[in-house]
Structure 1
Amino acid sequence: MTDSEVRLDLRGDVAELVLAANAIDLDVGRQLAAATERLTRTDARVVLVRAEGPHFCVGGDVRAFAAHEADLASYVSQVADVVHAAHRHLAALTVPVVCAAQGAVAGAGVGLAFGADLVLLGRSAKVRLAYTAIGLSPDNGASALLPQLLGPRRALELALTNRTLTADEARDWGLATAVINDSALLGEARELAGRLAGMAPGALAATKRLILSAANRSRDEQLDEEAGAITALAATGFARQTISAFARR
């Protein structure tokens, strides 16, 4: 995409979704929805979500909200619609999604960052929902993601009190995979994405599906799903060749 505040860069087997604008107004939301829809049609084996500048995403553009005071409900509804379309596109991806986030991770940025499968936070990252501070409620999946990742007690603490988490706290709470010095964040994220891109896509997709859908099934049903998936993968040439090579070591 050109002349855009949301960019999609294809780097080999890795697609990078890049935010150049760190606050989301209606135009940025539309660009985000369009870029993520395009993502669903690429052959990328891994998606890396990142942002340029000192902050990942501060959430909704409060200045844009204030400029639409007379029709605020209509404007917020339109922004939510396009941001949620982007969230659905990302959630539908079968490939691994990696996020690298630094600075402010707030509002809708929380759902964007922590909806990823693997999350690397720069040491400067500060996580804050901030919705109730301006009289609003969570969006972009935060009210679903946070209870799943943290449990309802901690999710309510973050959502009701607007507590700010440091990068280390976010990792210790289970929101982040790792904390990286900001100067090394992009390099580490690209190395991780590249490593995943070199792995068997079918195995990654099956593993992601099994883990993310497990809560919807009983233990017996999950065992059946696991048996079906591992059997299907064992029938692929990649698995047979890899297992044979491993056995010859």
Structure 2
Amino acid sequence: MTSPDQADYVTTVDGVLQITIATAANGTSMDFNAIVAGTAALRSLGADIGAVLLTGTGANFCAGGNVRGFAAADDRAAHIYGLATDLHHFVRALDATTVPVVVGVQGWAAGAGMSLVCAADIALGGPGTKLRPAYPGIGLSPDGGMSWTLPRIVGLGRAREILLTDAILDAEEAVRLGILSKLVTADEDVRTEALNLARTLAAGPRTTYSSIKTLLAQSLSSPLSDQLDRERDAIAAAANGATGREGVDAFVQKRAPNYS
């Protein structure tokens, strides 16, 4: 599934497309070779993929953009415009993905790294996980969709406070706000637990997950009456689908369903 250019950043394990978005070698700042490779992989997802996992290989999930690279650019506006364009292609591809997107957040998720945490369906962290917008600290404004996702997670008022004050959120606060889904016991277990969760989801009812994600996305701009109609149509269609038939039959027969 991956080309030689993607191989360092994109792998497939047990139905999970794993994308490494930051590496220790890159100082745990966002690696845009990874972002471009990840976008290509997301756009060509095959039926063998049942979940996506975003991870970093260094001490941090992602410490944000390469600020030294910003400073060194001859035309800073053009440089950052290009990076934001690539990142936003990636975020759009994530948003269009019908399978669950899991993030394992070890250490810091700052700047665009925090944006990707907010873009995930489920985000796991550890006791030492910290999140920070980081944009005011370098005099820049948000990218990666944070100005859209964060208010929808924490509410507009709290999003204003977090962004304007460049708040540092510890792990427990991030869980309380709903940015992180839950914490694992030890920081060193974050990547493993995130991969285990992604594997479990990949083995689950994929058409059900796709329907859930579609309904949730539609609910953001849908009146309740319209949403009720969509839910009725979706559950009726699922009842005659292979996944729905297997799930119901397995329940009645008191056995574990096989969604493979």
The CA deviation string for residues 80-108 of structure 1, in whole angstroms up to 9 with x for no partner, is 11111111111110110000011111111
The one of 29, 35, 47 equivalent to 2:32 is: 29
Normalized against structure 2, the TM-score is what?
0.89
User: In structure 2, what is the equivalent of residue 59 of structure 1?
Assistant: 64
Normalized against structure 1, the TM-score is what?
0.93
The one of 230, 243, 246 equivalent to 1:241 is: 246
Letter in 2 for 1:103: G
Counterpart of 1:105 in 2: which secondary structure? strand
> In the comparison of the two structures, how many residue pairs are matched?
245
CA distance in 2, matches of 1:150, 1:101: 18
Shift of 1:125: 1.2
The CA deviation string for residues 19-49 of structure 1, in whole angstroms up to 9 with x for no partner, is 324213xxx3254123222222122110011
CA distance in 2, matches of 1:170, 1:35: 26
| Structure 1 residues 13-162: aligned runs within 5 Å | 13-19=15-21, 20=23, 21=26, 22-24=28-30, 28-43=31-46, 44-68=49-73, 70-162=74-166
CA distance in 2, matches of 1:75, 1:244: 56
CA distance in 1, matches of 2:191, 2:78: 37
Change (3 A) 1:163 1:246: same
Letter in 1 for 2:29: A
Q: Which runs of 5+ in 2 are unaligned?
A: 255-260
Q: Which runs of 5+ in 1 are unaligned?
A: none
Shift of 1:133: 1.5
The one of 213, 216, 234 equivalent to 1:211 is: 216
Letter in 2 for 1:8: V
Q: Is the 8 A contact 2:131 2:169 kept in 1?
A: yes
| Structure 1 residues 153-192: aligned runs within 5 Å | 153-180=157-184, 181-192=186-197
The CA deviation string for residues 133-175 of structure 1, in whole angstroms up to 9 with x for no partner, is 2111111100001100011111111111111000111001111
The one of 222, 231, 235 equivalent to 1:230 is: 235
Q: Is the 8 A contact 1:5 1:31 kept in 2?
A: no
Say what the alpha-carbon RMSD is for the aligned residues: 1.6
Counterpart of 2:75 in 1: which secondary structure? helix
The CA deviation string for residues 107-146 of structure 1, in whole angstroms up to 9 with x for no partner, is 1111112200000012221100111121111111000011
Counterpart of 2:87 in 1: which secondary structure? helix
Letter in 2 for 1:193: A
